[in-house]
Structure 1
Amino acid sequence: MDTLKKFISYYKPYKNMFFMDMFCAFTLSAIDLVFPMIVRYMLNDVYTNKTRDQITMYVVYIGIGLLIMYIIRYFCQYYITSWGHIMGAKMEANMRSDIFNHLQKLSFSYYDNNNTGKLMSRIITDLFDISELAHHGPEDLFISILKIFGSFIILMNINVKITAILFFLTMFMLYSSYFYNKKMKYIFMKNRQKIANVNAQIQDSLSGIRVVKSFSNEEVENTKFKRGNMEFLETKETGYFIMGKFFSGNGFFQGILYLAVILVGGIFISIGEAKVSDLVIYILYINIFLNPIDKLVNFTEQFQRGITGFDRFLEIINTEPDIVDKPNAVELLNTKGKIEFKDVSFSYDNKNTVLSNLNIKIEAGKNIALVGPSGSGKTTFCSLIPRFYEIDYGTIKIDGKDIRDIKLKSLRDTIGIVQQDVYMFAGTIKDNIAYGKPGAYEEEIIEAAKKANAHEFIMGLEDGYDTFVGERGVKLSGGQKQRISIARAFLKNPPVLILDEATSALDNESEKYIQKSLEELAKNRTTIIIAHRLSTIKNADEILVLTEDGIKESGTHEQLLQDEGIYASLYKLQFEQVS
């Protein structure tokens, strides 16, 4: 019931369209029900009890009346087919907007545990089926109920005994529908899970197509895809076997209804308890009676597809973000950039503690480097400052304010991040730089690119700032993408800057350009640098050596070399490798 209530709530903005759709459905059904009654009246009264002139007059009048009715029916059918579908499409758009907006609110931990391809399946495939249910479901159900009960009442007035036999057979038909309906619900849910797996496999394979080709692993990917595709096919086959029994069973019962009318009606005519005209009317009404039953059969399939899709939709919508603003959260204004970690502990999914009782103070405007062995928690440390993840214990403060007391948007607006793995959005170079400050003027974008030493190479491209970067920036080199990401950070101009191994994947020439850009970017702001190449952090105000046991060393480059500890060992190891 909760699912249905939530589903029905999406009709609220379009209630006028909905009620008009239902009114048209009512009018259309009423016209279909009236036609056999007119035929019966013509057979029993007009053609048998009227003169030739009267028959002509009645035929003309009834013909005009029927023409008007079918013109009305035309407009009702038009509204149902066009505006009814538009209503469903609008509801689908609202649901897609809701799910996309909600996905934006979920934290990194949700995406750590969910596949992008499966989420795409829920946003696209599931919502299409929900849209079809939103339009056709209430309309088909309303028309079906109206026609079935209307036909039943009219037939009861013609002959109670024949109608009772038809009703008894219909009960068997409905029970059969209910039985197979339960089976179809389960199989449709399995279908959705399997197609989501197929979508995930496609998305994963195509995103990593360059890795696939570099290892000549096309056959490996084909095998993985074939396995998932065959599993989906198997569930589809099972579903179609059930549907085959479902539809053929209903077709059989429909045939039995015709057979019952002919046999029972013939017997009643022979004993004088029914007229031949009544038998004709029964056959006409069985058509009207069976059509809504067919609609109900289709509705059950449609309902199962739509409602299972809506259940999966609600799974995401009902997932509460684990990182949200407090009711009394405040804006972070005039940020200086002083950062403090006090007794901070963090673990992923409450397993395997990454940081334990960490205590660090970073003064505003300082340039701090963070080094240490892989797995010591350097990137995690930086991800905690903008609250990408929630700490288990302790406190993180910016300018003396607990970050949990600051509005998320305000907090993240004050922090700029340049990562090793730069993400380029589909679009132009201008679009990607402007992502740092939506709505920025072109002059601001160009100025940011100049500061990032990117303007020269951009102007060397055929379309300059309007050059399309390709999917994930495939048309640009690693160094070019990195400079664009730095330009993006310049445009944002945050008081706190995090550089997460921003030069570790670059060649020496690209690193020189980018190192200059990063040094310019780091001026007059609190900067935290995660560095793999220790030669790039010699000028840091302070270097922190992070291990699994916390901060083990701190000091300037020269001080740490003199101490001959962990940092000195790492530096000598890299120096020997370079030599």
Structure 2
Amino acid sequence: MKLADDHQDMPVIQRRKSVWELLKDPVFLQFLAIIKTYKWYYAGVIGAQIALTGVALLFAETSRRLFDQVPNIPDRNLLIILSAFSVTTVLQLAFTFLYNWLNSALNESVVFEMRRKILNHLQRLPLSFHESHHSSNSFNIMYSELEIAKNFIVFDVQRLIALPVSFLFVGIYLMSVHPILGAIAISIGPLQLLSNLVHKSKFKQAAEMQSRATRGVFFTIGETLHGVREIKSNQMEPIIDERMADIQTKGVAYNVLLTKLSTIRGIAKEIPGRVGYIAGVGVGAYMMASGSIGPGGLVAFITLLDKVAEPFNVLVDTINNLQRSISGARRLFDVMDMEEENVKDGIALPDGSPSIRYEGVAFRYAEESNAIRGISFEVPAGTSIALVGPSGSGKSTVVKLLHRFYEPQEGTIRLDGIPLKEYSIASLRERMALVSQDIYIFDGTVAENIAAGRPEAAYEDIERAAKLAQAYDFIAALPKGFDSAIGERGIKLSHGQKQRLSIARAILRNASILVMDEPTSALDVDTESSFQKDLGQWASSCTKIIIAHRLSTIRDADYILFIDKGEIIESGTMNQLIEKNGRFRRYWEKQGAFPAATR
């Protein structure tokens, strides 16, 4: 089992975006618009940061006055200075608490807002996106890549606003203490910006590889947890462990390299500060010896040196963060740039079961041969049609086009004579119910799963749907009946029980169009027989499309299409197809039925 890159990478743009292009990206600007929603949090956090700078200036000035007057400081002045220190301490604690509190609230609020935006966008993307990209990529977007954007929007934005103000105030203050010391302090920050050029290309390359290793971890974990039953039954644990070991080896190497480069860049960033400190202390000591400044001036310089360099440090860190995660940010923005399904435009599907007509419909998935070609058939309102044929023949594609999960490349699908694309997707899917062979059960109660498509349904309606789906007896036997929790993906239920819940879910929707894709594949013969009988009650007025390999499922279908390799090979009623003695007849005979068994 080789980890393929295809499963790890989201679609990316052809030309790599620079840092500044990313900052101007429309999606990034949408994220920045979140600031408007939480503007008062931002104002509070930035205000607290500026207030802390003011407290630092007060502390520095108080220290300068103290050291300029010792050892012969008058008692009254000492009392005032000690009082100022006390006030400074109280203010620092108060503003630190305020900053941490507001910053935490801002961080959590923005994270949830961004995560909600991304999730809403992902679920509104066409089904083609989700079928062609591994789910671990979406999880990676929701967590790892989200952290990239969040760190900039929450922390870097506020600091980029507050710290220049702090730099201005501190710089003016130090220049007032002594112009030479002020000039030394102010020059440190710009020199630190140059550290960003150290190993720039190597740093970006290592960051890209480290990000790839992280995506590999997400992919492997997702695959393992979703397929743990198959892994255990096929004794694949050593293979998974070997895969994780390979990813770990590469991941550790990339992280070590990234740490090495980060350390080198960090040292390069520290050098101007250390040199500036030594120069400032040396010059200050010389001026103090010559009487140009007092001891307090040198103390103020040492106290505020980090404050005046901090805005440039933040700028360097911000650029490094963007460089380190530029590939992740690009994937996030590319996915968020993808066009969502337009589910609202179009006319509403009227009440009543519609007729369905396919006219020369052809479709192929990207870079594949035609899934279906030249498909034409009609289903009169309130009747049923069965699609039969070998696996991969195109049956499921036919109904995917009806749901408008995909659009046909040729031909037209009509409902009541009107082209399908003229109906709004929302009204179309609202009137359809699907019983799929790929059953998905949500982590919740039985009642919540049955009512998934109609959460406002009354308890009596849920119970009725369960009875019609032949699910009531096993539900009643559960510890809490309809209120029983059934675990992630319905792990506490058998496959047949999950299929019956899926059928109950479709019944409850009370839809005009019913699509059943292998609806009884996991049911025993008796349960299937009862289901077929009840189907005539609750779905008698629906227009029905049934996909089946078990031909007993389609005994009562009004019309049958035998599809192979994307084309209709045979069509007619069951009796007509059996009498024809063709492909359908051979399917029928292989399942142990006899022509006399037809209705």
Aligned to 1:456: 473
Equivalent of 1:281 in 300, 303, 316: 300
Aligned to 1:219: 238
1:248 equivalent in alignment to 2:248: no
Residue 562 of structure 1: how far off its partner (Å): 1.3
Residue 414 of structure 1: how far off its partner (Å): 1.3
Aligned to 1:357: 374
1:2 equivalent in alignment to 2:15: no
Preserved CA contact (<8 Å) 2:188 2:309 = no
1:94 equivalent in alignment to 2:113: yes
Partner amino acid for 2:497? Q
SS of structure 2 residue aligned to 1:425: coil
Equivalent of 2:176 in 157, 181, 203: 157
Equivalent of 2:64 in 40, 46, 67: 40
Aligned to 1:134: 153
Preserved CA contact (<8 Å) 1:501 1:532 = yes
Equivalent of 1:27 in 51, 65, 71: 51
What do residues 260-310 of structure 1 show as CA deviations (whole Å, max 9, x unaligned)?
A: 123333444555655444333322232444555655555555555677655
What do residues 118-165 of structure 1 show as CA deviations (whole Å, max 9, x unaligned)?
A: 211211233244434333223333444334343333333333344444
Aligned to 2:76: 57
Instruction: Output the CA distance in 1 between the equivalents of 2:181 and 2:515.
Output: 82
Preserved CA contact (<8 Å) 1:560 1:568 = yes
Equivalent of 2:386 in 359, 369, 391: 369
Preserved CA contact (<8 Å) 1:419 1:499 = yes
Instruction: Output the CA distance in 1 between the equivalents of 2:502 and 2:489.
Output: 12
Partner amino acid for 2:544? T
Aligned to 1:207: 226
Preserved CA contact (<8 Å) 2:363 2:410 = yes
Aligned to 1:116: 135
Instruction: Output the CA distance in 2 between the equivalents of 1:144 and 1:466.
Output: 55
Aligned to 1:192: 211
Partner amino acid for 1:546? I
Moved more, 244-253 or 79-88: 244-253
Equivalent of 2:36 in 5, 8, 12: 12
Preserved CA contact (<8 Å) 2:439 2:502 = yes
Residue 240 of structure 1: how far off its partner (Å): 0.8
Instruction: Output the CA distance in 2 between the equivalents of 1:331 and 1:187.
Output: 53
- Scaled by the length of structure 2, the TM-score of the pair is 0.87
Instruction: Output the CA distance in 1 between the equivalents of 2:294 and 2:495.
Output: 88
Equivalent of 2:256 in 237, 240, 256: 237
Aligned to 1:496: 513
Instruction: Output the CA distance in 1 between the equivalents of 2:161 and 2:208.
Output: 26
Residue 220 of structure 1: how far off its partner (Å): 1.0
Specify whether residues 94 and 184 from structure 1 end up closer, same or farther in structure 2 by C-alpha distance, changes over 3 A only.
farther
Gaps of 5+ in 2: 1-22, 595-599
SS of structure 2 residue aligned to 1:421: coil
Preserved CA contact (<8 Å) 2:64 2:295 = no
What do residues 460-487 of structure 1 show as CA deviations (whole Å, max 9, x unaligned)?
A: 2222112222221121122211111111
Moved more, 491-500 or 301-310: 301-310
Specify whether residues 355 and 146 from structure 1 end up closer, same or farther in structure 2 by C-alpha distance, changes over 3 A only.
same
What do residues 492-522 of structure 1 show as CA deviations (whole Å, max 9, x unaligned)?
A: 1111111111223444445434444445444
Aligned to 1:263: 282
Partner amino acid for 1:32? A
Specify whether residues 74 and 275 from structure 1 end up closer, same or farther in structure 2 by C-alpha distance, changes over 3 A only.
closer
Residue 453 of structure 1: how far off its partner (Å): 1.6
Moved more, 153-162 or 535-544: 153-162
Instruction: Output the CA distance in 2 between the equivalents of 1:469 and 1:142.
Output: 50
Preserved CA contact (<8 Å) 1:367 1:522 = no
Partner amino acid for 2:46? M
Instruction: Output the CA distance in 2 between the equivalents of 1:62 and 1:262.
Output: 24
- Scaled by the length of structure 1, the TM-score of the pair is 0.90
Residue 166 of structure 1: how far off its partner (Å): 4.8
Preserved CA contact (<8 Å) 1:10 1:91 = yes
Residue 218 of structure 1: how far off its partner (Å): 0.8
Instruction: Output the CA distance in 1 between the equivalents of 2:82 and 2:514.
Output: 82
Residue 552 of structure 1: how far off its partner (Å): 2.6
Specify whether residues 475 and 493 from structure 1 end up closer, same or farther in structure 2 by C-alpha distance, changes over 3 A only.
same
Preserved CA contact (<8 Å) 1:137 1:303 = no
SS of structure 2 residue aligned to 1:551: strand
Equivalent of 2:401 in 358, 376, 384: 384
Residue 27 of structure 1: how far off its partner (Å): 1.4
Specify whether residues 315 and 545 from structure 1 end up closer, same or farther in structure 2 by C-alpha distance, changes over 3 A only.
same
Residue 571 of structure 1: how far off its partner (Å): 1.9
Residue 366 of structure 1: how far off its partner (Å): 0.9
Instruction: Output the CA distance in 2 between the equivalents of 1:326 and 1:459.
Output: 40
Residue 412 of structure 1: how far off its partner (Å): 0.7
SS of structure 2 residue aligned to 1:351: coil
Specify whether residues 463 and 7 from structure 1 end up closer, same or farther in structure 2 by C-alpha distance, changes over 3 A only.
closer
SS of structure 1 residue aligned to 2:456: coil
Residue 437 of structure 1: how far off its partner (Å): 1.4
Specify whether residues 571 and 205 from structure 1 end up closer, same or farther in structure 2 by C-alpha distance, changes over 3 A only.
same
Instruction: Output the CA distance in 1 between the equivalents of 2:458 and 2:250.
Output: 52
Residue 448 of structure 1: how far off its partner (Å): 0.8
Aligned to 2:4: none
Instruction: Output the CA distance in 2 between the equivalents of 1:272 and 1:76.
Output: 37
Aligned to 1:476: 493
Equivalent of 2:342 in 313, 317, 324: 324
What fraction of aligned residue pairs are identical, expressed as a percent? 29
Instruction: Output the CA distance in 2 between the equivalents of 1:351 and 1:326.
Output: 30
Partner amino acid for 2:94? F
Residue 347 of structure 1: how far off its partner (Å): 0.8
What do residues 433-478 of structure 1 show as CA deviations (whole Å, max 9, x unaligned)?
A: 1113111111111111111121112112222112222221121122
Equivalent of 2:415 in 385, 390, 398: 398
